[in-house]
A and B are shown apart, each in its own frame.
Chain A
Amino acid sequence: MTEAADTPVLRARGLRKEYGTGEGLVRAVDGVDLDVCAGETVAIMGPSGCGKSTLLHLLGGLDRPSAGEVSLNGRRIDDLSEKALARTRRTDVSYVFQSFHLMEELTAVENVELSALLAGRSPRAARRRAEELLEQLGLAGRARFLPSALSGGQRQRVAVARALSNEPLVVLADEPTGNLDSAATLDVLQLFEDLHESGQTLVIVTHDARVAATADRMFSMRDGALVDETRLTGGTTGRLGTLVGLGD
């Protein structure tokens, strides 16, 4: 293996985020160490209020830690200037949110190409990539629709396409299925499986076990800290039969 392959895409050390002071001090994130390798899907599960969304914001530079380090491809981002951090957010990371956060006055394809344009692609290249992505996600026929004309599942797929259009090092997803019904959830799960297959690095914060189960590794988060790590690959398929009353 080359040295580059050994460097995690995303690395956090001693990450803390505190709000308030004295009696009112809240440690939302309390000493998190995390390495995410290229092509890996990592899920972080925990009850609401455990700090998982705050952690995701720190990992992508949406928020700055009170202490600790975050690196993308071996480069520290926690100590960057505002300007440099904004550039990193546009080019190196993408977010997928529970409530989609699409621009309501832009069409699907305009929403998708926006993040490629912000990352510095030419309008022509951005449009081509946006159309390719919508095609891949089965939304080619909806490219000219406004978000309001799309179902929840379709909106989330547009949001995922937008997250991919700047070809980020890592996609950070915060409760991506939180607003979706069961069928649309399945669509998004399938989409994450496809991303995983294509080698996209993905960190997903969720309390939906189905989403967590698409990951290679899953962390449980309690009171701001990662308390348990589970490797989900390695399989149990042979024993699935026992769950439905087949075999011993």
Chain B
Amino acid sequence: MQQEVILALLAKEPSYGYQLRARLRDALGPLGDALNAGQIYVTLTRLEKAGLLAVERSAGGADRSDRKVYALTPAGQQRVAEWVAEVGWPRPDLAEFHLKLIAAASARLADPLAIVDTQRRELLRRLRDAQRAAMAEPAGSAAALLLEGVVLRLQADLRWLEACETNWTHRRSGS
């Protein structure tokens, strides 16, 4: 989990760690299962050391991270504002797969179409899971919107695999 995400989720109001986790759970639904609480607390501690967060108070003076209320420092607010304004987009690693097909074909390591088929099987399984998870969400839930993003990306990847299949079918029959 990116540090800026944690910071930005604290921008609304100072919060306990467990409140932060509840916000993540609402936003991510079943995808939030991949997050572990320990990671979040490690991130909070790092952000505190970096001066981007401050601990407002500790219940009963305990040093346990789940008993602390975290708040953004001015530097933290600055970082959140920069992050919100940034344009970033996850990069799928298409080149690796593309080069795998080329290397496999040129060195006769494997049939590129077999590699495409294997990849498609995996993507279809993921598509099935994402779709089922999306259908299980109540209409209009935040997590359903995220799952729709997963579904659309997988569809795009599957269409690219179709293009790979067509292209490699021609190359193979042409050689």
Contacts and interface: CB of A to CB of B under 8 A. Distances in A.
Contact of B125 (A214, A222, A235, A245): A235
| Of listed B33, B121, B127, B128, residue having the most chain A CB within 10 A | B128
Interface of A, helix, strand, loop or mixed by DSSP: mixed
B35 A246 contact: yes
B132 A244 contact: no
Contacts, number: 91
B23 to A, nearest CB: 14
SS of B interface (majority): helix
B8 interface: no
A20 interface: no
Contacts of A222: 169
Interface residues of B, number: 38
B33 A214 contact: no
Given A230-B124, A246-B34, A213 B133 contact: no
B51 to A, nearest CB: 26
A190 interface: yes
Contacts of A220: 117, 120
Given A47-B166, A220-B117, A230-B124, A214 B133 contact: no
Contacts of B166: 47
A235 B2 CA distance: 27
A141 interface: no
A241 B33 contact: yes
Interface of B: 1-2, 28, 30-35, 90, 117, 120-133, 135, 146, 149-151, 153-155, 158-159, 162, 166, 169
Given A235-B129, A237-B129, 10 more contacts: A186-B135, A193-B132, A213-B131, A232-B124, A237-B30, A240-B126, A241-B31, A244-B150, A246-B1, A247-B35
Ranked 4 nearest A-B pairs via Cβ: A241-B34, A247-B34, A213-B127, A213-B128
Interface of A: 47, 186, 189-190, 193, 209-210, 212-215, 218, 220, 222, 227-228, 230, 232, 234-247
